[in-house]
């Protein structure tokens, strides 16, 4: 009997058993393949990998997490919280390494879990006033020669979807979408050239302001800016390597679906690098501290006639690449 011709087949090494068949969750086509590959590749080339930090859980009991795609992952197995100690101890770099081998097995956060601020309450919130040319013009103010600084009480810190609570005697509460940044390490008298080395990440901020207290009660602006819930922040903290150029981001705000603010950070009078350097000349910025860089034109006080927030309103703030926050407005009972 003549055997049929069979072409030569080269030796194939032993193939290990694959319990998932051709679908491998850790492989390039699995749900965590691109994320893990990016982490491994970045380490090989010495490139940092962007992350999106989140926190979740009830007020006062938040836990740390990361956002990967549309999933929130619990990273409380790595750290207790995203706070001053975390950033001061090099927590971002350590978290990247820790995630590389564990992301696929981390607990998922239930969709119903509250979104907290992506970082714990900071030691201080430093704000910049009149830092957009169009906003300075709508208020009738001169273009500042130096940054106008004020502080917002850290007790105003609030989650990205928590209600904005109007104090009983307020009547002119206004909106202000802003790009905010979080300091990653202790900064004192840093140069503009090195300023970005001190930034842990960027997020969305609404500098909610009670104009009557700010402008009609004498003194400085702080008391009009610091009521509880007047600093919604989040939903994520995006590291600089993923956030892009902070001086070229679009930001917008809607009230009840109506577009009220729509601008870009190209209109900033003093850009991010300058602000970090400038503020660090006058105070030491600690890890976890927040700088809110100012609001563009379109605030309620600039309308004709002025318009302010009322119970039942819904405010939505968005910064390009950093996500959106949505806050219902209620009156304090």
pLDDT digits (tens, 9 = 90+) for 230-284: 999 999 999 999 999 999 999 999 999 999 999 999 999 999 999 999 999 999 9
- Determine the Cα–Cα distance for residues 126 and 289; give it in Å rounded to an integer: 8
| pLDDT at residue 141, as a whole number | 85
- Determine the Cα–Cα distance for residues 282 and 30; give it in Å rounded to an integer: 50
For residues 215-250, one letter each, b for 16 or more C-beta atoms within 10 angstroms of the residue's C-beta and e for the rest, the string is: eeeeeebeebbbbebbbbbbbbbbbbebbeebbebe
Q: How many CB atoms lie within 10 A of CB 207?
A: 27
Architecture of domain 120-331: Alpha-Beta Complex (3.90)
- Determine the Cα–Cα distance for residues 107 and 187; give it in Å rounded to an integer: 35
Determine contact, residues 65/104, Cβ cutoff 8 Å: no
Q: How many CB atoms lie within 10 A of CB 332?
A: 14
Determine contact, residues 261/296, Cβ cutoff 8 Å: yes
| pLDDT at residue 11, as a whole number | 41
Residue written as token pair 């006639």: 305
Determine contact, residues 298/285, Cβ cutoff 8 Å: no
Using pLDDT thresholds of 50, 70 and 90, give the confidence band for residue 38. very low
Q: Using the predicted structure, report yes or no on whether residue 228 has a pLDDT greater than 70.
A: yes
Q: Span 116-121, mean pLDDT? A: 98
Using pLDDT thresholds of 50, 70 and 90, give the confidence band for residue 219. confident
- Determine the Cα–Cα distance for residues 331 and 26; give it in Å rounded to an integer: 49
- Determine the Cα–Cα distance for residues 55 and 116; give it in Å rounded to an integer: 5
Judge residue 126's burial from the number of C-beta atoms within 10 Å of its C-beta, 0-12 exposed, 13-18 middle, 19 or more buried: buried
Q: Span 6-11, mean pLDDT? A: 44
Strand partners for 216: none
Determine contact, residues 173/165, Cβ cutoff 8 Å: no
Residue with more model confidence, 195 or 34:
195
- Determine the Cα–Cα distance for residues 234 and 325; give it in Å rounded to an integer: 7
Using pLDDT thresholds of 50, 70 and 90, give the confidence band for residue 49. low
Could you give the 3-state DSSP secondary structure of residue 204? strand
**Dihedral of alpha carbons 300, 322, 201, 262, sign:** negative
- Determine the Cα–Cα distance for residues 22 and 140; give it in Å rounded to an integer: 66
Strand 323-331 to 164-166 pairing: parallel
Q: Using the predicted structure, report yes or no on whether residue 295 has a pLDDT greater than 60.
A: yes
Using pLDDT thresholds of 50, 70 and 90, give the confidence band for residue 45. very low
| pLDDT at residue 30, as a whole number | 54
Residue written as token pair 């380490």: 43
Using pLDDT thresholds of 50, 70 and 90, give the confidence band for residue 31. low
Domain spans of the chain, in order of start: 49-115, 120-331
Could you give the 3-state DSSP secondary structure of residue 182? strand
pTM, two decimal places: 0.85
Q: What is the pLDDT of residues 58-108, one digit of tens each?
A: 999 999 999 999 999 999 999 999 999 999 999 999 999 999 988 889 999
Q: Span 191-203, mean pLDDT? A: 98
Phi, psi dihedrals of residue 237, rounded to the nearest 5°: -105, 115
Using pLDDT thresholds of 50, 70 and 90, give the confidence band for residue 15. very low
Q: Angle CA(140)–CA(145)–CA(151) in degrees, nearest 5?
A: 80
Can you read off the two tokens belonging to residue 23?
């679908």
| pLDDT at residue 278, as a whole number | 98
């Amino acid at each position: 009997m003549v055997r049929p011709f069979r072409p030569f087949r080269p030796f194939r090494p032993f193939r290990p058993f694959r319990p998932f068949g051709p679908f491998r969750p850790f492989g390039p086509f699995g749900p965590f393949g691109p994320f893990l590959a990016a982490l491994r590749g970045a380490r090989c080339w010495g490139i940092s990998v962007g992350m999106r930090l989140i926190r979740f859980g009830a007020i006062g009991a938040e836990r740390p997490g990361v956002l990967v795609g549309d999933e929130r992952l619990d990273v409380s197995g790595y750290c207790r919280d995203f706070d001053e100690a975390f950033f001061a101890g090099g927590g971002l770099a350590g978290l990247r390494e820790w995630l590389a081998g564990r992301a696929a097995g981390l607990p998922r956060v239930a969709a119903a879990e509250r979104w907290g601020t992506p970082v714990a309450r900071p030691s201080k919130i430093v704000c910049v006033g009149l830092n957009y040319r169009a906003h300075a013009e709508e208020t009738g103010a001169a273009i500042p020669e130096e940054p106008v600084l004020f502080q917002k009480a850290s007790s105003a810190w609030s989650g990205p979807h928590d209600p904005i609570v109007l104090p009983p005697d307020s009547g002119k509460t206004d909106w202000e979408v802003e790009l905010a940044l979080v300091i990653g390490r202790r900064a004192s008298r840093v140069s503009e050239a090195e300023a970005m080395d001190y930034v842990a990440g960027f997020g969305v901020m609404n500098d909610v302001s009670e104009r009557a207290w700010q402008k009609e009660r004498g003194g400085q602006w702080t008391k009009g800016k610091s009521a509880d819930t007047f600093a919604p922040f989040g939903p994520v903290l995006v590291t600089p390597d993923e956030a892009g150029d902070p001086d070229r981001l679009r930001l917008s705000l809607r009230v009840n679906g109506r577009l009220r603010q729509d601008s870009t950070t190209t209109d900033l009078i003093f850009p991010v690098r300058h602000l970090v350097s400038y503020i660090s000349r006058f105070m030491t910025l600690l890890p976890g501290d927040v700088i809110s860089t100012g609001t563009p034109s379109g605030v309620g006080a600039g309308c004709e006639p002025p318009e302010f927030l009322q119970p039942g309103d819904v405010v939505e703030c968005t910064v390009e690449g950093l996500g959106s926050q949505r806050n219902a407005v209620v009156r304090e009972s």
